[in-house]
Structure 1
Amino acid sequence: MNEDKINKAIEALKTAEKIAKDFYDKPVVVTYSGGKDSDVLLDLAIKSGIDFEVSHSITTVDAPQTNKHINKVFEKLREQGINAYKRLPMYKGEPINMFELIARKGIPPTRRARYCCSTFKENTEKNRVVALGVRALESRNRQGRDIFTTWGAKKSDAKYFDLSHVQEVFKDAKTQDEIWDCTLVTTAKKHKRIIVNPIYEWSDSDVWDYINENNIEYNELYNMGYKRVGCILCPLAKKTEKIRDITTFPRYKELYIKAFDKMLKLRREAGKSDTYGSWTDGEGVFRWWIEDKNIEGQISFEFTNQE
């Protein structure tokens, strides 16, 4: 494993801790999903010696293997005196699960209408310095970013900063406000969320080399052929991956169909159309939903009048 990448990741975490300590007076939040990147991020946080706590956002559609791994890791963290906690998903101030969310939204989650991510993952840790296991090579959408990020009102307002720039502007930011008045410092002063991605530049092989060299226990789904760990039947998954999920976790197919049945019932009660001829029942919606993104209408949803 490249030692320079390891050292840079640890430096990023230490810089994040300085910001969290100087401006937020709270530990860095290390997010944990139960996947390999989270395991590496967590191990780096421990090795860096920073003050941090660990947060897991419950999606309600994680695989049993993932939940088992998370519980095991959190038990060990608590034995070490590290605060590790889980956040329940909330929608309009109330706890919710994926299936009820589908019914209330009135449309299935798709690549373009990924309301599930914003509810279950993206806004769970607010007004903190948050460490994520995001990497550039995971997807095209994650390329062009950097190790530090500030969010605006929208994702399109996000700004990205490299490690050396962040270290420089925060070197004397607390005592010399008139000199360092940039987006990052302004964000910290307002106690808004700042994101650090310590392993942003790592490849898949870097991640696995680090895991193997440090004897890190990982999610057993990887031994079952899974390359990525996430929600069962994630809208971003390929069709082949969705078929595998259906085969491996048939109970979740039943739950999604029931959710789609309830969704159709609520749409009809509200006087809304079924949108497609195949949307006669939950089974029909499900068949439409697991097809690839090129099917007509797959990304044509609008959120007008939706909850």
Structure 2
Amino acid sequence: MNLDKKIDYSIALLRKAESMALRLDPENGFYLAFSGGKDSQALYHIAQMAGVKFKAHMNLTSVDPPEVIRFVKRQYPDVELIKPKMSIYEMAKKKHILPTRTLRWCCAEYKEFSGFGKVTLIGIRKQESERRAKRNEVELAGHKFSGTFDQWEEHEETMVTCVGGRDKILVSPIIYWTERDVWQFLNDVVKVPHCKLYDEGYKRIGCILCPMSNYKQKVKDMQRFPHAKRNWVKVIQWLIDNGYINNHNISDAEFRFKWWISDKSFDKFYADEVLQQKIDFEI
């Protein structure tokens, strides 16, 4: 489909799902998950074009780029900014472990808890990754259902009744859009500004030193936001001093920070940085 057809499809999906959203939250309708990035902007504006009822929320993590927060406050003043009860640094101490690519407790603590008991709009796209390519336009948290809206309609009565407590219905209106579609939509259709970090080389906008970012992105973050590195080194030292990190008996917090941003397992990083240096190639 070209972009015009994708826009029409997204609008139709939102309008079909609106009755479900109003059924669970008559006052606000959809719970729109906003981040300030290009995809959440596209999600926000396609919801506006559809004319559906929604309330946008942005869950802060304490490691949000200040440029993003300023952009959202200026361009999207109606978005509710939800401050965390505990900083991510203190949460790492509480959990006794750093967030990693394979253990992303940060997402669970600061992002995924929002929108329970509601129909939540999210800006994921199949093109983003192999994992997201398997996602569907309508899902029930906990993967109890995943499919198209037409499939959902067959089970809507039962599934809506089941939503409660920590369940939520996820709707992804732009799931079939490409990155090019998103930029064309923002620049040529709705004609709105975007966060300046994109113009400075950032491919994605998220938390500073996000475990899901690649190594080059983390290096860029360290250079731009040196306070984040200092804070994480302090956390790592605290974890070492309190006995929560002790493999290989390395008490150097800087060394462990370098491992944390390396995208390598600790054993692989240790072998590359320490063991390889001990080999005497003159023998």
Structure 1 segments, 4+ long, off by >4 Å, are 167-170, 188-191
1:195 maps to 2:170 = yes
Matched, 1:223 2:191: no
Give the % identical residues: 30
Matches within 5 A, 1:1-307: 2-26=3-27, 27-75=29-77, 77=78, 84-89=79-84, 95-152=85-142, 157-167=143-153, 170=156, 173=157, 181=158, 184-188=159-163, 192-213=167-188, 214-265=190-241, 267-268=242-243, 272=244, 274-278=246-250, 280-296=251-267
Change (3 A) 1:281 1:35: same
For residues 264 and 16 of structure 1, the distance between their equivalents in structure 2, rounded to whole angstroms, comes to 49
Summarize deviations over 1:116-148 as a string: whole Å, max 9, x none. Answer: 110011112211111000111112221211101
Structure 2 residue identity aligned to 1:196? V
Higher relative contact order (CA 8 A, sep 6+): 1
Aligned partners of 1:116, 1:65: CA distance in 2, in Å? 21
CA positional deviation for 1:282: 2.6
Moved more, 136-145 or 112-121: 136-145
3-state SS, counterpart of residue 296 of structure 1: helix
* 3-state SS in 1 of match to 2:248: coil
Give CA-to-partner distance per residue, 1:28-79, whole Å, 9 cap, x none: 111110100011111111111111111000111111111111111332x3xx
| Pair 1:199–1:273, CA change in 2 (3 A) | closer
CA contact (8 A) 1:128 1:191 kept: no
Q: Do the aligned partners of residues 249 and 23 (structure 1) sit closer, same or farther apart at CA in structure 2, a change above 3 Å counting?
A: closer
SS in 1 for 2:205: coil
Q: Secondary structure at the match of 2:76?
A: helix
User: What amino acid sits opposite 2:16 in the alignment?
Assistant: T
3-state SS of paired residue (1:145): coil
Give the partner amino acid of 1:7: D
Unaligned runs of 5+ in 1: 78-83, 90-94, 174-180, 299-307
Partner of 1:303: none
Q: What code does the residue aligned with 1:165 have?
A: Q
Distance 1:10 1:169 in 2: 22
* Counterpart residue identity of residue 194, structure 1: I
Question: Residue 284 of structure 1: CA displacement?
Answer: 2.5
Asked if structure 2 preserves the Cα contact closer than 8 Å seen for 1:187 and 1:193, the reply is no
SS of residue paired to 1:276: helix
* Alignment match, 1:81: none
Task: State how many pairs are aligned.
Answer: 266
TM-score by length of 2: 0.87
CA distance in 2, matches of 1:223, 1:248: 14
Q: Write the deviation string for residues 252-291 of structure 1: whole angstroms up to 9, x where unpaired.
A: 11111112122223x33xxx5512333x143222112111
Identify the structure with the greater helix proportion. 2
SS of 1:134's equivalent in the other structure is coil
Q: Output the aligned Cα RMSD.
A: 2.1
- SS of alignment partner, residue 89 of structure 2: helix
Partners of 2:262 and 2:253 lie apart in 1 by: 15
> What's the offset of the Cα at 1:185?
3.6
SS in 1 for 2:17: helix
Unaligned runs of 5+ in 2: 270-283
**How far has the Cα of 1:245 moved from its partner?**
1.0
* CA pair 146-235 structure 1, distance change in 2 beyond 3 A: same
* CA-CA distance at 1:294 after TM superposition: 4.7
The range that moved more, 20-29 or 58-67, is: 20-29
